Structure 1
């Protein structure tokens, strides 16, 4: 695998007091969903990997945070390709994990958004059958937020008995990623305004697309696919009508004005405008609240730019608390204004 492709896969991978005064029923769970080209193990509230990161690089801190607060947490298994999840080495290594689940309920994080969503929906139905889960709060990192939306549509279309109580997206490219937009040709390299890291990210993504003909959700990251009158977002209208959504975006990397909002500010992978779905119509996203944190997209991005691990969206305690608040506040969220903080 080219070094730049490995970088792409890694960067896209993937307290506030408790306010819900009602006891959490045993039939309710939080499901954590990974992003593009990620490999993540299946974990349960009482079972995680014994070697390395217990729930993978993106989910470990959030899982541990929520478990400490008494939530029932599952991580959806994800594989960079079809098949079951196995132990992995290298960056974000994990081993000695719970028994891998069948490929049919494992998210193919290199497949199309809708295919990934279909497998995620199967996993959620599996939780209902095997773990007696009737309600879920979905938390998706990066493309995991889009996979979650596709899963919600599939659950409804198939008459699933599981209720999706809330959706929280972390660094999710609701409108695409500036990296994919550059590769697709809708953004010029000049939009980086001479920033070396921005240019290297754009060139690396475009080189990987050209070299290995990435398909599936890697090619669906561009804005033209997701937005517009016939874009993917349009076909999600109605799916989130009764589901409160919290969008968390990072703005670690900035540029002095005038700066192109199609790129700046960003988290190293996704521009803030996209992470907060600012151009997504209210018919698609009628109940949104937003939170902005000065973080990077992932701990890998923090590492390659010489930042501490907790500057990453998936490791920052502020984000962990924001996720907790979003889940706890779900019952009253539909009563508030749309685009709160967005």
Structure 2
């Protein structure tokens, strides 16, 4: 009798041990990535800033929306300059946030795209080791889309165990920004066709470049840097081969008969660039596009005297489009390329 009981116990324990080694479904999270000159706090699904905007001006609405749809959401820390994120005051203020992560995992949103990508990749790897995340859906606003692409390349080169399921870019300058091209000289003030808001954006951006962004990611917004046979885009061929990409662009500002290098645009990025229309399929083989009549950001909406929800980062239609891109990941690679582009 004792032998039978012992054998039964052994079989039971063996069964439990075997079940314990079976791998469950991958743990997945959405990672939100800020753009040029942005400062954004690190947030987790259960931790955000207690004062001001819980996840900063670029991510608060999107984070809340995605959490409400049952996603696990993290915002990648970003600083307008090197170092850790600190509380901010003034426009888009936030404070009483989760403990800041080290500078090596914080995106310098004014530095080079590739360096920003390396820092973002470290953050994503940290999510794997510390938060047990196996798969991520990346959502990049503005240059955050380029930072995300650089991070994907780094993760691939390092053979990271974490998998990037999808990439969604919102107002990302895949081919550059007409504002940077104005500074570089390939776009002229006359291309504004007398539009005062267009002219004020060009002149204001030129001042910003001269004052604080004479190098790094702002200079890398030029079409001459990103496009061409030796451009940054060409060097990314193969990186997105197995990753479905959704591109969301805004066309709030338009001028009949205007140069497509400028018109239509969202106040910062021309629609042609946001939809990567001239980026080859060797670089971007699986793309879907969505166009909405929005501005680049709530800051652009503010200076244009428009409501906050006219911004790509706050429009419910964009929030739904991002959710749809994430939810449709399983079949996205089978869809026809360039739908809506």
The alignment's TM-score, normalised by the length of structure 2, stands at 0.92
Please tell me whether Structure 1 or Structure 2 has the larger radius of gyration of its CA atoms.
2
CA distance in 1, matches of 2:254, 2:213: 31
Per the alignment, residue 286 of structure 2 pairs with 287
CA distance in 2, matches of 1:270, 1:312: 13
CA distance in 1, matches of 2:26, 2:278: 38
Superimposed CA distance per residue, residues 79-107 of structure 1 (whole angstroms, 9 cap, x where no aligned partner): 01111101111100000000000111010
Superimposed CA distance per residue, residues 107-164 of structure 1 (whole angstroms, 9 cap, x where no aligned partner): 0101000000000000000000000001000000000000000000000001100000
Per the alignment, residue 11 of structure 1 pairs with none
Per the alignment, residue 85 of structure 1 pairs with 85
CA distance in 1, matches of 2:213, 2:254: 31
Per the alignment, residue 313 of structure 1 pairs with 312
Shift of 1:206: 1.7
CA distance in 2, matches of 1:213, 1:238: 30
Contact 2:26/2:135, CA 8 A, preserved across alignment? no
CA distance in 2, matches of 1:229, 1:101: 37
C-alpha spacing 1:98/1:26, structure 2 compared with 1 (3 Å): farther
Does residue 214 (structure 1) correspond to residue 214 (structure 2)? The answer is yes
The 3-state SS of whatever aligns with 1:232 is coil
Does residue 43 (structure 1) correspond to residue 81 (structure 2)? The answer is no
The 3-state SS of whatever aligns with 1:110 is coil
CA distance in 2, matches of 1:31, 1:211: 31
Shift of 1:213: 5.3
**Structure of greater relative contact order (alpha carbons < 8 Å, 6+ residues apart):** 1
CA distance in 2, matches of 1:102, 1:207: 31
Q: How many pairs does the alignment contain?
A: 318
Shift of 1:25: 5.0
CA distance in 1, matches of 2:202, 2:190: 11
Shift of 1:50: 0.5
Contact 2:110/2:213, CA 8 A, preserved across alignment? no
The 3-state SS of whatever aligns with 1:100 is coil
Gaps of 5+ in 1: 1-23
Per the alignment, residue 178 of structure 1 pairs with 178
Shift of 1:208: 2.6
Alpha-carbon RMSD across the aligned residues, in angstroms, is 1.0
Per the alignment, residue 163 of structure 2 pairs with 163
The alignment's TM-score, normalised by the length of structure 1, stands at 0.92
Contact 2:63/2:73, CA 8 A, preserved across alignment? yes
CA distance in 1, matches of 2:93, 2:25: 33
The 3-state SS of whatever aligns with 1:140 is strand
The 3-state SS of whatever aligns with 2:277 is coil
The 3-state SS of whatever aligns with 1:289 is strand
CA distance in 2, matches of 1:187, 1:99: 43
Shift of 1:26: 6.5
CA distance in 1, matches of 2:25, 2:84: 30
CA distance in 1, matches of 2:67, 2:301: 25
